[in-house]
Structure formats: structure tokens, C-alpha cells
A and B are shown apart, each in its own frame.
Chain A
Amino acid sequence: MAFGFGNLWRRKTKTILTILGVIIGTTAIVIMISLGIGMNENFRRELENMGSLNLIDVHMPYRGPGMMERGGPIKNARLDDKALAEFRKLEGVEAVTPIAQDYMRFAAGKYVTDISVIGMDTAVMDKFDFKIDKGRNLLPGDTTAVVFGSQAPTLFYNPKSRNFYGMGGSNPVNLISDKLLLTMNHQYGERRQSSSGDDSKPLKVYKVKGVGVLQQSNDEKDYSAYMDIKSLEKIIAEGRKMQRQQGVGDFSPGQGYQQAKVKVKDIQDVQRIQQHIKDMGFECFSLSDILKSMQETALGIQALLGGIGAISLLVAALGITNTMIMSIYERTREIGVMKVLGANLNDIRKLFLLEAGMIGFLGGLLGIGFSYGISYLLNYAGLSFIQFMGPVGEGSRMSVIPAWLSAAAVVFAAVVGLVSGFYPARRAMRLSALEAIRTE
């Protein structure tokens, strides 16, 4: 009915003040929630910088002394091909690879470097976010092929040169074309071999072939080299055997793999699959663990912030109710006249609910606009303040208002308006027509 608007307009000041209350309430809630969302997003971005969120690292369970007494895992879990096959069968798992790792020396001509060599299943390498910059990725059947992290070429140095950490600038080696050697002997290629005994057999040196260099990823991948796990394990086993004969190190074969990585298709499934693998008796770790606890924290803060916002909207709701009740007092006569002229209860109720809903809706709409403004200011001006307290990643925002939040806020404000109008509408309905029109 048209005169709903007429009335809102007629009582401009009161209406505007009431709407202002809703604006403040809506803005408070939206900004508070947007801060929570912004916080979540920043956590996520930070973690994504640390690595992929859909990877699970699986280890053999820790079996130190006292474990049994504490009722630890009795299951004799072993990280072998059988276990890996079981991981692959879990729903939502995209790929599984065993991981072996050792610190080894590469030599290219007179240049050498000691870096972490990681062995994995070459067949699934492309599934684990290895993006090739030069050359190619590892393929099934590659036994001596090696893929290097982006920073590996810069790590080579000439041990015989005086300033071997010299900031040479240009890379002295081309890892793809140069002849490469791999050894566990960390003195290989150096002038003096400070080996304990000259009688010992030197550690073996293997010919390998560099086939690719990875894109920069800003994590430990940049400083690693990758090859087929079978070949790597052979090298490690031979090396350990040699070292044991020399009385160094302890290596007991037949324990399965050191480690495995599981890639999950959907981040949502990570926790479930991780729990599954834990139940099989393995130790698991994923970045989503951190994300989860961070999100829980964020949720708590969000609830607190949202609660503060909700209180201000509640106050606004009381404001609407108050305005509507005042309006009933002022319009007692009008309501009575309308009743005498045949307005039924529904008409009266609709009139008041519409008015209250309108106040809520308008307040919500303007509140959203206002929120976007404040959010912009926070992101623009507030960010420098946060940076003051600690570094922030690029593109991070303090306050994020997704479309669903603005839509929900407007709907919520309108509903709050309607609910606030409910009691006044009932009062108006109950008003006796006669009381109203009785001549003064």
C-alpha cells in the first residue's frame, strides 16, 4: 500500500534516525565478519605460500621406548608398497608417492654442490605440483635422470678456487647439458680428502643426467634435486653398506620407505583421509592441520566480532520497534479510521510490517554501502598499520566482504525490521476502532 511510504516520509526525522540505527548495526556486523573473513584469507594465503594445502606427509610411527607402555600404536604399520597401494584406494586420493631423501654431492666438471636429493615415484611426479621451467619432468623409466630445483644451479662452486663462495654471478654449470656425477662422498672433487682412513674404499660415484629445472616456488623445492626413488634407494643402500663396513652410520634394510606423500584432490577431504591414514597406524602431517587450527581461532574471533555487531543490530531492532510503537500512538486515530472504513486486520498488519521491513531493508542496503566504504578504508589505510606489526603478504586485505555477506546482511536487516515490526503491528491490529475515532 502506497501510504506506507507516505508515512515514512512524513515522519522524516524519526525514520531517518531509525534507519541510521539499522545502518550502524548492519555496518558493525558486516565489518566485524569481514575482518574475520579477511583474517581467514590471509592465513590461507600464508599457508599456500608455505606449500600445497592438499598434500599429506606420511611417516612411520615413532616407536621410541615407553611407547608401548603408553598404549601407543600396537599395529605394526610399515610404510611399504602394500601400504601405499592402500592409500591409493582411499576415496579422494589423487596420487601417492614414496619419498626417500639424502644429502648428497653433485659434481659438474670442477664444480660441486651438496644438496638434498629426493627420490620419488617418477610416474606421478606431475601430480605433485612440479612445474618445469627448462627441460622436462621425470618420466616412468627414468633411472639416472635428475630434475633440479630452480636455485640448484647457483649453488655449484669450485672447491679448488680460493674464493669458492665467490659471487660469480653467472651460473658456471648447465645442469641439462653438462656431464653430472652423484656421490655420497661429500669431499669428492676437493684437493684434500680428510678421510679418516686411507685404507677404506671410497664411496661410489654415479653418472646421472640432468633433464630439467623446476620453476621457482619459494620453498625447499628450489634447493633440492629429484630422481627416481628406486635408483636413489640403491645409491643410499650401497653408500650405507660402505659406511657401515667403516663403522659409520646404522642402516637396517627392509623397513619400508622413510616417508610418503599423498596428494588429495579436494582440500575438503584432507582431514578425513589424514584421519584414515592415522588409523592405519602412521604419523601424518599436512598444512591443512595448521589451517584448521588457524580457522578455528579465526572462527572464534569472528564469532566474538560478529557478536559485537549483533548487539548493535539488536539495539537497532529495538529502535525500530520503538519508532513503530511511537508511530502507533501518533496514528491511533488513523488506524481507527481505516478500521471503520473496512480495513481488515491483515491490511493493518501489512501496513506496519511493510513499514518496519522497509526501514530494515533501507538500513541494510545503506549499511552495506557504508560497510564497503569502511572496508576500503581499512584495506587502504589500515594495512600500513598491520604492516607495522608484522609483514603481510602481497594482496592481503584486512577486511573482505564477499557477495554472499552483503546479500545476507540486507536480507538479515530486512528480517530484523519485520520481526521488530511484529509486536507494533499486533498492537495496531488490536487497537479498538472506537477508541480511536472517539471525538476528543
Chain B
Amino acid sequence: MFILDEQIAYNSGEGLAIANIIELKDVRKVYRVGNEKVVALDSINLTIEEGAFCCFLGTSGSGKSTLLNLMAGLEKPTKGQIVIKGSRIERMSEQELALFRQKHVGFIFQSFNLLPALNAVENVCLPLTFRGVSKEIREARARKMLKDVGLETHYRHRPSQMSGGQQQRVGIARAFIGKPGIVFADEPTGNLDSKTTMEVMKLITGIARQNGQTLILVTHDLGIARYADRVIHILDGNIEKIEENSGNVGVNQ
């Protein structure tokens, strides 16, 4: 186990030098189902600069999740390059990808995906556990994160003892605890009602903006897309159009 210097992991000096934190070049993803080929992504070219909040919007089956998974290194493209923080992640081994995710990536799931055996603090701790951070330090950090998302009364609760909104707050705390450069969220509010959706969105964007983290969000909800600096419309595996949301860009700076 190794102890990673938190400050270095977060600031990672060179991050500032590379303006584009994510670069996709001619990315294509084809699934083979039996004898048929399903083109999930046709040809994607895209750059995202550090600290941006991008939202991928599209109908069901358009390829949004596939694109997000490719950028998070959970899947390899059939063709093309994916450069994140200057590294070609499509070439990395599974071991390297695990390390890469530890250092640079946070993840928020639609269905929360908290570990049922662990309580809120332990769940939030997980990314630090994998980094080898000592128990006292990571639990102190986890409590602070939970407080920031308004769950200071639920440290010892297990997922089954919390509402969906509360679970997603734990999920958010878990995604941000390692201060990753990029946070991916695949329909994080898909399982929440509209009131909770607004609260959760405010939390996510608030923390990301405060720390200058890049936020990549997938949704088919126009209301949510409004929070983003940039909305990327996906249609049948291609980028249909990119909308800059000038109002928010100002907020970002």
C-alpha cells in the first residue's frame, strides 16, 4: 500500500499546464451482438478544458453512457484516441487504469451503488482506502465530506437505512473525497424526485466549482442541462451540436 500526497494528487501542477483535460480523437465504439454490429459511437471528436462542467444530452440509446464509460477508462474504444491529463488511457493496462482512477477520477452513479455492508462513513472512505490512506485520516475526511453534503447526523447509517436522496449525497461525498480532477456522473438524479434533484445538482456543481474540478454529466433531462457550462447533444453515436451556456461560464470563472 502506498500513501499518496493528497495535495499533489489534487493540484497535480501539470494539470494547469494542460488546458484540455480530456481530448477525444475520432473515437468509435462498436458492439457485437451475435452476428450483428451495434455502432454505439460513430466518430467522436471533442476536447474539454480543465474545470469545465459539460453535460451530455441525448435520447435513450444515443450512446451517452458509452461515451462516459470510455472517458472513465471503464471500456476501450474500438478505434480512436482518448487522452486524459495527457495520458492515452485506451492503451493502459487494467492495473494502470485502476491507479489512474484512484488518482484522477470520481464517479457518481444513477443507482447510488453504495456497499450495503458498510455505513455512510465507510462508504465515503472507500476511494481513500484503495489509496492506502490511514484509517484515522480517511475517516476524519469522510466525516467532513458528509457534513458538507448535510449528513452529519447519518455517519453510522447503512444504505438500507437512508432515503434515495441521502444515499446519493453519500455517493457525492464518496466521489469528491479523493479530490479527483474529473468527476463523472451518469444520470445522478435519474432515481430522484424533482425537489431532491435540484438539491443534489446544486451540491454537485457547488463542490466541483469550488474546487475547480471538471464535471462530466450524462442526462436526458433538459432542466439539468441548464446547470452546465456546455451542453453536448448526442444523436445516434455522433455529436449533433454543442451549446455554450454563457450565463454559467461567467459563474465558473
Contact = CB atoms under 8 A, between A and B. Distances in A.
* A joins B in a complex: yes
Interface of A: 1-3, 6-7, 10, 333-334, 337-345, 347, 433-434, 437, 439-440
Contacts of A342: 98-99, 101-103, 105, 127, 130-131, 178
B174 A341 contact: yes
A176 B115 CA distance: 91
Interface of B: 69, 72, 74-75, 94-95, 98-99, 101-103, 105, 107, 109-111, 113, 115-118, 122, 126-127, 129-131, 174, 178, 186
Contacts of A2: 122
Contact of B115 (A334, A339, A344, A345): A334
Contact of A439 (B111, B118, B127, B129): B111
Nearest to A4: B117
Contacts of B103: 342
Nearest to B106: A341
Nearest to A436: B113
Contacts of A333: 113
Contact of B74 (A7, A334, A433): A433
A340 B72 contact: yes
A6 B95 contact: no
7 contacts: A334-B116, A340-B74, A342-B103, A347-B130, A434-B69, A437-B74, A437-B113
A338 B111 contact: no
Contacts of A434: 69, 74-75
A1 B1 CA distance: 12
Given A6-B117, A434-B75, A439-B111, 12 more contacts: A1-B129, A3-B117, A334-B115, A337-B113, A340-B74, A341-B101, A342-B99, A342-B101, A344-B95, A437-B109, A439-B109, A439-B110
B76 to A, nearest CB: 10
B78 to A, nearest CB: 15
B126 A341 contact: yes
A1 B186 CA distance: 29
Nearest to B112: A337
A337 B113 CA distance: 7
A337 B107 CA distance: 9
B157 to A, nearest CB: 15
Given A1-B129, A6-B117, A340 B107 contact: yes
A6 B115 CA distance: 11
Nearest to A438: B65
B129 A345 contact: no
Q: Which of B101, B178, B186 has the most CB of A within 10 A?
A: B101
Interface centre among B72, B98, B115, B186 (most CB of A within 10 A): B98
B99 to A, nearest CB: 7
Contacts of A347: 130
B117 A7 contact: yes
B127 A341 contact: yes
A340 B104 CA distance: 12
A434 B72 CA distance: 10
A1 B117 CA distance: 13
A6 B129 CA distance: 15
A1 to B, nearest CB: 7
A327 B42 CA distance: 38
Contacts of A343: 98, 126, 130
B74 A341 contact: no
